[in-house]
């Protein structure tokens, strides 16, 4: 298999259509079908259920999707690393990655550390999804990343668990929004706004909530970021799940309320990851960054409880 095979597989998985995927990867539909058939032969597994209404991941396809994303992201990160090889990294530069949903928690500690590290002449802060940041850290493109999932297929990374936060079930603070006593009723009647499949929060919900309940949202809207989730819930589009930390610092957005349900008792973990080859300067900075983040978390928790 090659990069194009992976791109074709991911495009079909995300569009659930051979013809739509062909448009995204600039191939004909027959060429896409041939690529998928060749990939299935090589893997000795059926990756899609093919029906008149589209192509849908089998269990084997669902499992392979993460590794396809992982492999493709790693290859693309490697290409980018070679393109930027001329920009040599020195110990006077610190490159930090922060998962998008946690910038408001992590940045205060990072900024405070910047003020105390006069020997570091340049700081680079990147935001993105956890998998992308983890791969960029493993490749050496980033020095430290703060993410919401530990990735066991990346042995070249050290991982430190920072804190856990419960998931909140949220809806718009509007009188006309329905209030039910059971998650089952919400799953049947109300649109759910969730992150795309295979993102950490979505996988947590799929495996630890929906699968045990043997029920999934009947009306589903998939988005890329928790910021979009908050916006759509505020506007009354539907309900969702987010870590409590995503609703800080005010505890909850003015137009959003937390709905208490007995079925919802999940927690999401947050991690600091860094390369095994990190410099002494970075290793010396890590404890202060971690302590600052945990202090910031405690401050938000205390203000929420008051």
pTM tops 0.75: no
Give the per-residue pLDDT at 170.
94
Domain boundaries, the chain: 3-83, 93-163+269-305, 165-268
Domains 93-163+269-305 and 165-268 agree in fold: yes
**Which CATH topology does 3-83 take?**
Arc Repressor Mutant, subunit A (1.10.10)
CATH number for the domain whose boundaries are 93-163+269-305 = 3.40.190.10
Q: Is 21 left (phi over 0), alpha (psi -120 to 50) or beta?
A: alpha
What is the full per-residue pLDDT of the chain (306 aa) written as tens digits? Answer: 888 999 999 999 999 999 999 988 888 999 999 999 999 999 999 999 999 888 999 999 988 988 888 888 778 777 766 665 555 544 567 888 998 878 888 888 877 777 766 555 578 888 888 888 888 888 778 888 999 877 666 667 888 888 888 999 999 999 899 899 999 999 999 999 999 887 888 888 998 999 998 999 999 999 988 889 999 999 999 999 998 888 775 544 578 999 999 888 899 888 988 887 787 878 888 888 888 888 888 887 777 655
CATH number for the domain whose boundaries are 165-268 = 3.40.190.10
């Amino acid at each position: 298999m090659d990069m194009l095979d992976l791109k074709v597989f991911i495009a079909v998985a995300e569009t659930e259509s051979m013809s739509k995927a062909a448009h995204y990867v600039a191939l004909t539909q027959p060429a896409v079908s041939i690529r998928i058939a060749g990939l299935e032969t090589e893997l000795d597994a059926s990756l899609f259920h093919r029906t008149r209404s589209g192509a849908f991941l089998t269990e084997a396809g669902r499992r392979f999707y993460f590794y396809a994303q992982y492999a493709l992201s790693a290859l693309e990160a490697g290409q980018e690393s070679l393109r930027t090889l001329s920009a040599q990294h020195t110990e006077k530069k610190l490159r930090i990655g922060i998962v998008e949903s946690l910038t408001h928690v992590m940045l205060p500690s990072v900024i405070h550390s910047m003020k105390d590290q006069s020997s570091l002449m340049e700081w680079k802060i990147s935001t993105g999804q956890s998998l992308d940041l983890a791969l960029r850290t493993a490749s050496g493109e980033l020095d430290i990343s703060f993410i919401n999932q530990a990735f066991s297929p990346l042995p070249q990374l050290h991982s430190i668990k920072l804190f856990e936060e419960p998931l909140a079930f949220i809806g718009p603070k509007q009188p006309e929004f329905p209030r039910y006593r059971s998650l089952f009723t919400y799953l049947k009647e109300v649109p759910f706004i969730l992150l795309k499949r295979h993102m950490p929060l979505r996988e947590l919900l799929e495996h630890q909530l929906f699968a045990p309940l043997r029920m999934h949202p009947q009306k589903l809207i998939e988005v890329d970021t928790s910021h979009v989730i908050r916006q759509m819930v505020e506007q009354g589009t539907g309900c969702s799940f987010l870590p409590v930390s995503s609703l800080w610092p005010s505890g909850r957005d003015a137009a959003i309320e937390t709905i208490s349900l007995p079925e919802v008792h999940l927690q999401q973990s947050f991690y600091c990851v860094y390369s095994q080859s990190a410099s002494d300067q970075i290793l010396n900075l890590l404890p202060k960054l971690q302590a600052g983040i945990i202090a910031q978390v405690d401050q938000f928790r205390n203000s929420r409880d008051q």
